[in-house]
Amino acid sequence: MLSQEQNNLLTQCGPQAPMGRFMRSFWIPAMTADQVPAADEPPVRLTLLNERLVVFRDTQGRVGVMEENCPHRGASLFFGRNEEGGLRCVYHGWKFDVDGNCMQMPAEPANSRMCQNVKARAYSARIAGAVLWVYMGEADTVPDLPAFGFMGQPEDHLYASRWQQECNYAQAMEGELDSAHVSFLHRALNTIDPDHQALTGKYFQEDTAPLWKILSNGAGFMACNGRSVDGDKRYWRINQFLLPFFTMIPPRPGDAQLVRMWVPMTDERCWVICVSWRPDGPLNEQELKAWRNGENSHRKVIPGSTLPVERLDNDYLIDRLEQKTVSFTGIKGIRAQDAMVTETAGSIVDRTREHLGASDIAVVAMRRALMEGAALCANSGLPHPVAAQAWLYSARAVQAVLPEDQKLETADDFLSGARAVQPVAP
């Protein structure tokens, strides 16, 4: 349970809010690389951390991320003309380059020097790992991009998608960190997957109250949760949480790795960006087809949009007959099931009224890490130190069945124990 003040601190991400300032220490994933318009194409809108922005690419292919409203009298630059190295506002013709410098003010007298004194608010932007990253903090403290395993991988090793979720980023992410729900929310009624480690497999059915251990990974924590197997072993899932909103859950043996990003759009809505990747080779056609169809790690959206097909305003297309015979929820798609339980709690869940149990330990750890991060930045007036430690982001989520009597106390015990069972490709 949180106080109302704590809930506000956790959930408010605008430029003046402590959590928003803390988040602006980090590179923010904003959209997939293929959602960035081509050179000289019209700009697209982007709402990020409560700021309305436009994204465009100039004639040279450089990406510009700029405040949507023109610094003259506020007209939207979304309606602007992307022409010859800059974006021109159609109201009075002011034109800006990707850095926000004013290039022309054709409605001012020829001898006016005003153009040199006006700048549009523009942010540093880079494309890496099939994602557009935006740095919304102070321009003199731009850190390196986080060194996720997928950064720098060849294009055919990567698949990224983005969809919108109708709730605050924190409660969307809580659904990812809370592994206990898998035994219920994602349960199949008509089948048990022969792979015991599958979400609809035996391990999740036979022990529905996992043991938890939270251990630091330097940039957040590892949420280790273990389910009893045959009385003398435990199936451990070692999930990763990395400040401020990155999560990794372990793939099944042979499956692609994934990183999910829970990015505030406004305080009441968030982006979910998911990158699936293989360190050791190209993705295969079968998995690509499934992801494009919104299966497994990705969500089905209306083509050309970020709006999910199964969503809040259509009751996620629930099928009550299937709820009796096929699945616990009657809702198709793991990600749609996750969205249903987090969105229906309200756009900002009232955490003064909740009742947390032992299964919520990772949720509590995440809230604490975020609120401590926000407090640290508020007190120091500086970016969060983890943002400058890019290498911490190369963490991986792993899983393994380990003997019950194996010593598992430190992060290294868990990681080396799991890797001994299931080697992880570099």
| Sheet hosting strand 27-32, strand order edge to edge | 27-32, 131-135, 122-128, 63-67, 51-57, 44-48
* CB 89, CB 70: distance < 8 Å: yes
Of the pair 267, 338, the CB lying nearest Fe ion is at 338
Task: Give the shortest CB-51-to-ligand FES separation in angstroms.
Answer: 18
- Which of 56, 78, 94, 235 lies at the binding interface for ligand FES (CB under 6 A)? 94
Applying CB under 6 A, does 70 fall inside the site for ligand FES? yes
**C-alpha to C-alpha distance for 183 and 199, rounded to whole angstroms:** 8
Applying CB under 6 A, does 245 fall inside the site for ligand FES? no
Task: Give the shortest CB-118-to-ligand FES separation in angstroms.
Answer: 10
Applying CB under 5 A, does 338 fall inside the site for Fe ion? yes
* CB 308, CB 301: distance < 8 Å: yes
- Which of 52, 62, 92, 269 lies at the binding interface for ligand FES (CB under 6 A)? 92
- Residue 343 interacts with, from Fe ion, ligand FES, none (CB under 5-8 Å by kind): none
Of the pair 118, 142, the CB lying nearest ligand FES is at 118
Residue 47 pairs in a beta bridge with 52
Applying CB under 6 A, does 73 fall inside the site for ligand FES? yes
**C-alpha to C-alpha distance for 261 and 275, rounded to whole angstroms:** 9
Of the pair 73, 289, the CB lying nearest ligand FES is at 73
Question: Cα dist. 175→3, 249, 366, 380, 418 in Å?
Answer: 20, 12, 11, 31, 24
- Which of 72, 121, 186, 269 lies at the binding interface for ligand FES (CB under 6 A)? 72
Applying CB under 6 A, does 103 fall inside the site for ligand FES? no
Residue 333 pairs in a beta bridge with none
| Beta carbons within 8 Å of 204's beta carbon, 6+ residues apart | 182, 183, 186, 187, 227
Applying CB under 6 A, does 223 fall inside the site for ligand FES? no
Q: Strand, coil or helix: what is 80? A: coil
Read off the DSSP letter of residue 146: P
Applying CB under 5 A, does 178 fall inside the site for Fe ion? no
Q: Of 70-78, 109-117, 196-204, 272-280, which part binds ligand FES (CB under 6 A)?
A: 70-78
Q: Of 65-73, 147-155, 156-164, 339-347, which part binds ligand FES (CB under 6 A)?
A: 65-73
Give the rounded distance of the alpha carbon of 245 from its chain centre.
Answer: 6
Task: Give the shortest CB-338-to-Fe ion separation in angstroms.
Answer: 4
Q: Of 132-140, 252-260, 334-342, 397-405, which part binds Fe ion (CB under 5 A)?
A: 334-342
Give the rounded distance of the alpha carbon of 285 from its chain centre.
Answer: 24
Task: Give the shortest CB-211-to-Fe ion separation in angstroms.
Answer: 19
Angle made by CA atoms 401, 184, 259, in degrees to the nearest 5: 60
Task: Give the shortest CB-17-to-Fe ion separation in angstroms.
Answer: 28
- Residue 204 interacts with, from ligand FES, Fe ion, none (CB under 5-8 Å by kind): none
Instruction: State the number of binding residues for Fe ion (CB under 5 A).
Output: 1
Q: Segment 125-164, which members bind ligand FES (CB under 6 A)?
A: none
* CB 252, CB 239: distance < 8 Å: no
Q: Of 37-45, 87-95, 136-144, 157-165, which part binds ligand FES (CB under 6 A)?
A: 87-95
- Residue 338 interacts with, from ligand FES, Fe ion, none (CB under 5-8 Å by kind): Fe ion
**C-alpha to C-alpha distance for 323 and 303, rounded to whole angstroms:** 27
Q: Which residue is nearest to Fe ion (CB)?
A: 338
Task: Give the shortest CB-199-to-Fe ion separation in angstroms.
Answer: 8
- Where b means 16+ CB within 10 Å and e means fewer, 276-307 reads bbbeeeebeeebeeebeebbbbbbbbeeeebe
- Residue 256 interacts with, from ligand FES, Fe ion, none (CB under 5-8 Å by kind): none
Of the pair 94, 271, the CB lying nearest ligand FES is at 94
Burial of 172 (0-12, 13-18, 19+ CB in 10 A): buried
DSSP string for residues in 319-372: -HHHHHHTBSSS-SSHHHHHHHHHHTT-SS--TTS----GGGHHHHHHHHHHHH
CA proximity to 397, closest of 227, 222, 261: 222
Q: Of 140-148, 202-210, 331-339, 378-386, which part binds Fe ion (CB under 5 A)?
A: 331-339
Q: Of 67-75, 110-118, 229-237, 412-420, which part binds ligand FES (CB under 6 A)?
A: 67-75
Of the pair 77, 173, the CB lying nearest ligand FES is at 77
Residue 266 pairs in a beta bridge with 269
Binding site for ligand FES (CB under 6 A): 70, 72-73, 75, 89, 91-92, 94
